[in-house]
Amino acid sequence: MIPVRKRISYILIALSVAFVAPEKGLKDYYKAYFPIGVAVNPRMVQPGPDADLIKAQFNSMTPENAMKMGPIHPEENRYNWKDADAIADFAQQNNIKLRGHTLCWHNQTPRWFFTDSTGKTVSRKVLLARLKQHITDVMGRYKGKIYAWDVVNEAVPDTGTGIYRKSKFYEIIGEDYIEKAFQYAHEADPSAQLFYNDYNTENASKRERIYQLLKKLKDKKIPINGVGLQAHWSIYEPSAQELEESISKFASLGLKIQFTEVDMSVYPKEHEGRARRDTDKSEFTPEMNDKQAAQYKLVFDIFRKHRDKITGVTFWNLTDKYSWLDNFPVPGRKDYPLLFDQNGQPKKAYERVVNF
In whole angstroms, give the CA distance from residue 220 to residue 218: 5
Three-class SS of 124-167: HHHHHHHHHHHHHHHHHHCCCCCCEEEEEECCCCCCCCCCCCCC
In whole angstroms, give the CA distance from residue 345 to residue 218: 43
User: Kindly report the CA angle at 311 between 93 and 290, in degrees rounded to 5?
Assistant: 95
Spell out a b/e string for 79-92, using b for 16 or more CB atoms within 10 Å of the CB, else e. eebebbebbbebbe
The string of DSSP letters for 176-230 reads: THHHHHHHHHHHH-TTSEEEEEES-TTSHHHHHHHHHHHHHHHHTT----EEEE-
Other Cβ atoms less than 10 A from the Cβ of 301: the count is 13
Contacts of 56 (CB under 8 A, 6+ apart): 22, 23, 25
Side-chain-side CA neighbours of 188 within 13 Å: the count stands at: 28
261 catalytic residue (yes or no): yes
Beta strands of the chain (E only): which ranges? 36-40, 60-63, 97-105, 148-153, 193-198, 226-229, 232-234, 256-265, 310-315
What is the H or E stretch that residue 121 is in?
Answer: none
Choose the catalytic residue: 261, 283, 287, 351: 261
In whole angstroms, give the CA distance from residue 63 to residue 49: 18
Choose the catalytic residue: 23, 76, 154, 270: 154
351 catalytic residue (yes or no): no
Q: Annotated catalytic sites, by residue?
A: 154, 261
